[in-house]
Structures are given as C-alpha cells and as structure tokens.
Amino acid sequence: MSLNESSPHAEDAAAAVQAAAVCHAHKFGGSSLASAAHYRHVARLLAEDGVPAQIAVVSAMRGTTDSLIGQAHAAAGGHDWRDAWAALADRHLAAARELDPADTSGTATWLEDAFGALRRQLDAAADARRLLPEEAATIAGLGEVWSSHLLHTALGGEAQGWACLDAREVLVVHPGELGAGVDWAESRERLAVWRQAHPQPRVVVTGYVARDAEGRVTTLGRNGSDYSGAIFAALFDARELTIWTDVDGVLSADPRMVPDAVCLSSMSYAEACELAYFGAKVLHPQTMAPAMQRGLPLRIRNTLNPAAPGTLITAESQAAASPVKGLTLVDDLAVLELSGAGLIGVPGTAERMFSALHRAGVSVTMISQGSSEHSICCVVRAAQAGAGRAAVEAAFADARADGLVEGVRVTPEIAVLAAVGDGMVGTPGVAARLLAGLAQARVNIRAIAQGASERNISVAIARADAQRGLRAVHAAFWLSPATLSVGLIGPGNVGRALLEQFADALPRFACEQRPERQLDLRLRAVADSKRMLLAARQLDPATAADALADGEALDLDRFVAHVRADHLPHAMIVDCSGSNAIAERYPEWLAAGIHVVTPNKQAGSGPLARYQAIRAAARSGGQFRYEATVGAGLPVIQTLRSLIDTGDELTEVEGVLSGTLAWLFNRFDGSQPFSELVREAHRLGYTEPDPRDDLSGTDVARKLVILAREAGRTLSLQDVEVESLVPEALRSVSRDEFFARLGEMDAPMQARFAHAQQQGLGLRYLAQLDRDGKARVRLVTPEASHASLHSQLTDNLIQFRTRRYAANPLVVQGPGAGRDVTAAGVFGDILSIAQTLGARA
C-alpha cells in the first residue's frame, strides 16, 4: 500500500469524524406529527437535509400529552378514562398500520403492548385512587416514546441507518427554581455508552422525558421538547438545531391577534430569551440556554411550508428596519401597589416588599417605581394577587400602624405588553413610538418598566385594551406610520374617478428602498346606498366599484367597524355620496378617531348644531377635510383658512362657485338657446344627474354657507337669499318631464341676456357675502372689469376681501367642475391627512 493510500479502518474513522462535524439536529413539534401523512412528510424533510449525521427529537402526536394527563387524573379521581384511552390507542395504531401495513418493523405490535401496559397502569391508579409523581411523569411522557417509534418506522428504521433513543436512557436532570437543569457530565457519559451499542449516524430521540439522579422518570415540563432538542443538539455536538413548528418562523406578534404580524428573518439569543421568558409561544424559555452556551445556531421553520427560510437565531442578529423585533402579551395579571409618604428615602423598602412576595411564593412579572419613591408597584399573576397582598401587608404592618404606609392596593384585569429588540439599544424615540401607538388606540398605561439593557420596554395596561394595544403598537413599528384603512362611500362619478386615481398612485407610494417614506393606503371597503364590499386586507381600486355589484347588503355600522380595524393605526372614511344621512354620522366617526374626507356639502352647510358637533369632534378625534365641497380641486378653503389663521379678517366674499353655471354663462352668448347649452353640459358630465340641482342655486348657496362658517359666521342655508334659474312650473315635475320642457327656460333667459347686452355687460351667476353678513346667490350683470367676465369655461372664481386685501381682493381661480378635478381635491385632502400622520408621499 502506497503512502497515498489509506486503510479501510482509517477511511471509516475519517468518515466518522466528517459525520460528527456536520451533524444537524431537528426537533419536530406535535403539530408536525399529527398523522401518518405528517410522519411521512417529516421523513422527506429529513432526507432533503442531505447531511451525513442527523438527530430528530420528537414531541408526542398533537393532543396526546393532554389526553394522557387527563386519563391519569381521571383514573386517580375515580372517573372514566377508557374512552379516551381507546381513542388514543386507535389513533396511534392506525398511524402505525398506515406507515407499515405488513408490520415488518413490529411497531404496531409494540404499540399494542405499550397501550396494554398503560391500561394496566391506569387500572392500578383507579384501584388505588392515587398516582405517585413518578407514575404521573411516566404516563405524561409516553406520547413522545410512541411518537419516536412511529417516526423511526416512517424513516425506514435501522435498515436506513436510523437508531431510536429513549431519552430516559441517557438524559439526567435535576430540579431547579428555573426548571429542570441538565447533569451534562453524567448525560454525556451515558450517551457515550449508548452510542457504542448504537453507532448509526442518524438517531430519533424522544423529547420531553428524562430521569433524575435517583433514576426516577421525570419530564422537562410542558412544551419541554424544544428544550430536549437543544439539549441533544449539544450532546451530539450538532452544528445547527432546526425547530419545526406550524408557523413560518418567529413572528413579530401573535398572528391570531395581529393579522399583519411579520416573520422575522433573524434574531439574537438575547432577543429570543426576552421573548421566550416573556411568553412568546414559539420557543420554550429554557431552549436558549444550551444554544447560548455553545453558540449553537437555532432555526425556526414551518413543517407545512418548508420553502420558507424561517428565523435564524444566533449570537448577533441582522440589522432590521424596526428597532423592535417582537411584541408579546401576558394576560391574566394584576398590579400590586404599595404606597405611602413613609416610603420616601427609606432604604430597603423594595427588598422588604419582594422578600415578602418570595416567601409567599408569588412570582413577579414586572416592577415599576417612580423616582419620588412614594409608591412601588409590581405585576403578579392574578391568581397570586390575594396571597401577594396579604404577604406585603403583613411585612409592612408596623408602618401601616404608624400611618407611614397607606396600604396595598390590587388592580385586577391587567395585561403586560412587552416590546423586545436589540435595535432598541441606544436608539432614541423607541418609547415614544410605543406610547404614541397606545395613545392612538386610546389605551391607558397603568405602569411602565424598561431594563438598563434597553432591550425590553414593558407596559401594564387594562386587560380589555390588550389586543387593541398590541395591534396599535405593532402598527407603530412594523407598518408605515401612515398606514390608512380606507372606506369609500358613494362610488359614483367622483367616487369612481377617485378610485382610478388611487389605482394610478398606489405604486408610487410603495417605496421599498425607503420604507419610512411609504404611504400604505389600503382601500378595505366600498359601499353605495344598498350594498357594501369588505376586504380583510385591501380591495383593488381599479375593480372595486364594479365588484360592488356582488357585495352584501349595506350595514353601515359593520362597514365602519371593519374600516376601523384595531390592527391598523389609522382609519379614514371618504364620503362621496352627497347623502345627508351619511353626514349625520360624521360626529360619531370623528369622535372615534376616524378621519373623514368628503366633497359632500351636507355636513358643512347643514344644520348649524350638527356642523358645530362635527367641528368639536374633529378637535379631539379624527381629522375632517372638505376642500372639495367648495372649489372641487381648488385650494379655496385652504386659502381662507390661511388668512384667518394668520390673523386676517374676512369682510366680503364674491364669486362664481359653480363650475356648471360658469360653463353655461361663459358659453351663453345668445347664438343658441339656453336649453341646448344645459343639455350639452349634462352630456359632458358637468351637471348633476338632475340639472335643476345646479340651476336652482341651492348648491352655490351651500358653498357660500361653508365659506361663511369657515370664517366664523353663524350662517345657515335658510339665511341665504337664493335666485333659482328654474321656472316655477318646472321645479316639481319629474326629471324626464323637466328635460322635455327645458325649452320653457329659453325666452326668459334670452330676455335677461338682451337686457345685459344693451348695457354692454354680461350675465354671471354670483355668490355674495357682504361685510354685514348678508348672503345672496343670484344672476347679476357685473361691471365690465369684473374678473368673472374674463374667466375660462368651467372656472370657479372666488374673491376674498379682507382687512389686508381691502382694495385689491385675493382671487382663487381655476376649473371648478368635472369628476376628475373634484376627485383630485378629495385625494389632496387624503394626502394632507397622511402627511400629518408621517407619510412623505
């Protein structure tokens, strides 16, 4: 044999070293092992791993441990357990026979014997009416033992290089205050002995179960299979541990409570520990210890979606857009508060309080104390609140007798919300975002605590506010600050144009490279007077109006509740309906924090009491924007508001406030009948469906009322002197009859035009508000120099005379009619609100 050749024994040794160097550990939870099909799927996942050495730590089949514990308690308590036992036996035997129909592995026969032994044990417990701790632990851990045999069968057993390890043969643990601790030296020695008899490169291991130093069977506690996975990954010197579960990885929050929860690509050990110890369900709290001690990477993956990369947990996590990595919520708590002037400056107060709680066996979840030292509070489990209160009262009985301590107060129905993340360290504004999110959701904070590491901020809030608070805080960190849940009412001409503009603009608002600049505008609901269409996430604005035909019957309360989703930070209703009944709901919506944007003039010009209620609600709740109610897309209200806010005083308003009437009188030169111009304007979409709504002057009067109220006048619609252009005989007939008799307008209008022409003037329909508060809307013959005589087609033209603009009025002029410009005015209001919420679109 040449020097370049190696012996078979040397090759075996090299292969063993290589195998040991690339061992991967996998842990499969009960949801991944719910049936024979699940076991086959797990076998495929392990085959795809492709490394020479593997260990697979298994939980019991889903629901098995609960059933076993229930059977044990039932037997010891003298209750029936046989139906549950039979169902569990049938389920496991059915899986074994499906995996191995001929029972060549003997698994089905072995399970029959195992269930027979369990039946005898339960019979004995029923006869004795008691169950020793070791017996209870033995029964509780049987599910993992059975599960390991089923997976071993699905993998092909020893013929395919798989051994099966009962953890009770090697794993030795001892009890501790923080849970079971591992006797690593003893466990390694036992594993070495076991490996001499079982040298296979791949091993299926039972999770959850172990023995204590005296050899008694014990468990690692509920959900301890994750801990087993980390322990055996360390014992086998694995390079990586993958924990397979039923979610894509560690999520930013519980997806059952936060629909927009996101999967985190990476986390640090420190972040995972904070989340695990604070109630996150993906990881068992003790799982992290073996991984951290050995620098073992952990990966959380989804058995049902193995294509997802999952969450990688290592010593340091990758930088993320959000400084917070996860939010957890612990429920069923109470605040225990000790207060009194005698506590101020007294050393040892906290030690005295927490020693009393420790002696009483009360676990403290959170601690908070103000710098004044007048009070100190802690959050405890609700079930322990009574015992904690009694213990602290006893410890401070002397101080209470002397009047130095007021007493101990317990506030029940508390939940603690915690924000966790390495990115919080040294980052200003994290607490501000958290508190702002809670404030937006109207959630009051009872207590707050932050560790010096800055990785955790915890707040105690009312249990009733817990889910709303969690969703609001999640939105503050993981969504764009300007994520708006939008509901559109009235997809008519203007509403459809607005939806078209939405569809065109949304791609521009999504800026993946600069998420802080994103505007997440979500159209989640559309409604007309009869039907509504709701979407869990969002509707396509390009098709929403047509899809409404297949919607459900309108329930306005449910529509609003859907738009005001707790998991989204902001809600907005856009009312393009023109309905007085819808405007009646504005105060209620605004008071609830829902922003309202509308071209509907009913709110601004309707009953004065309602208008005042709307403005009052907008001062303390949602924002109310209505620019399009006067000038379509023109900045009329914005201009007037700027004048007033800077201290100017409005004296007069005059102008053309109807794009429809502007078009008509810009075109009416006597060369064609006025009725033909009305019909043409209707065809072009410049008029309302019934042109009398424009010709009556009521719409112009409403706009004048809105402007007057904006300037602080208490004007109402009935205070406006209105000249209607509709002849008396045509005002109450049907729309069809009106169109048929439209020619009756021609002679009177031709006479008015001829009279104006004789004076060298033109006709214009103007709104006028003088310095004395008199308001008129009428057809007039302005002076030849009047700006309205030189405007373009559908131009609105508004002249503001103020103390500053007394001699030469401030003029706002531009197109004031048409679906597109009106929709643009509405859209502008939406974006204006979005900017106040943090958008930079």
Over residues 395-452, the pLDDT tens digits come to: 888 877 777 777 789 999 999 998 888 888 878 888 888 888 888 777 899 999 887 6
pLDDT digits (tens, 9 = 90+) for 261-278: 888 889 888 888 877 765
The answer to whether residue 579 scores a pLDDT higher than 60 is: yes
pLDDT tens column, 247-266: 888 888 888 888 778 888 89
Sign of CA dihedral 94, 95, 101, 106: negative
Question: Long-range contacts for 602-605 (Cβ within 8 Å, ≥24 apart)?
Answer: 602/578, 602/702, 603/629, 604/629, 604/702, 604/705, 604/706, 604/709, 605/701, 605/702, 605/703, 605/705, 605/706, 605/709, 605/717
The domain covering 35-239 belongs, at the CATH homologous superfamily level, to Acetylglutamate kinase-like (3.40.1160.10)
The CATH number corresponding to 326-478 among 3.30.2130.10, 3.30.2320.30, 3.40.605.10, 3.40.50.720 equals: 3.30.2130.10
Tokens standing for 701? 């009067």
Q: Model confidence at 144, in pLDDT bands (50, 70, 90)?
A: very high
Map residue 430 onto helix, strand or coil: helix
* Cβ–Cβ under 8 Å, residues 505 and 828: no
Instruction: State yes or no: pLDDT of 775 exceeds 90.
Output: yes
Count the Cβ atoms, other than its own, within 10 Å of residue 603. 25
* Residues 704, 769 contacting (CB under 8 angstroms): yes
CB 211 within 8 A of CB 218: yes
Provide the pairing of β-strand 775-780 with 720-722.
Answer: parallel
What confidence tier does 787 reach under pLDDT thresholds 50, 70, 90?
A: confident
Residue with tokens 């951290």: 292
Q: Is 437 helix (H, G, I), strand (E, B) or coil?
A: helix
Pick the CATH number of 483-622 from 3.40.50.720, 3.90.1150.10, 3.30.420.40, 1.10.10.10: 3.40.50.720
Q: Which pair of structure tokens corresponds to residue 587?
A: 């105060």
Delimit the domains of the chain by residue range: 35-239, 326-478, 483-622, 636-817
Q: Which residue has the tokens 């997809």?
A: 491
In this structure, the chain runs to a length of 841
Q: What percent of the chain has pLDDT over 90?
A: 60
Same fold, 35-239 and 636-817: no
What is the reported pLDDT for 344?
66
- Alpha carbons 559 and 563: distance in angstroms, whole number: 6
The DSSP 8-state label assigned to residue 760 in this structure reads: T
Average pLDDT, integer, range 203-226: 90
- The residues, ordered by sequence, that sit 6+ positions from 351 with a Cβ below 8 Å of its Cβ are none
**Residue 124: both structure tokens together:** 């004995």
Give the per-residue pLDDT at 488. 97
Residue 210's beta-bridge partner residues? 218
Active site residue ranges: 703
Q: Would you say residue 740 has pLDDT above 60? A: yes
Superfamily of structural domain 636-817: Dihydrodipicolinate Reductase; domain 2 (3.30.360.10)
pLDDT at 710 over 70: yes
| 14-18, 162-166, 353-357, 788-792: least confident range | 14-18
Find tokens 């120099």 and name the residue: 785
Could you tell me if 252 and 258 are in contact, meaning their C-beta atoms sit under 8 angstroms apart? Answer: yes
Q: Is the predicted pLDDT of residue 92 greater than 80, yes or no?
A: yes
Q: Is the confidence at residue 625, as pLDDT, over 70?
A: yes
Residue 156 has pLDDT above 90, yes or no: yes
- Provide the token pair at 755: 């009279």
The residue type of 758 is: Q
* Average pLDDT of the chain to the nearest whole number: 88
Mean pLDDT of 211-234: 89
Query: What is the pLDDT, as a whole number, of residue 513?
Result: 46
CB 805 within 8 A of CB 813: no
Interval 307-318 mean pLDDT = 88
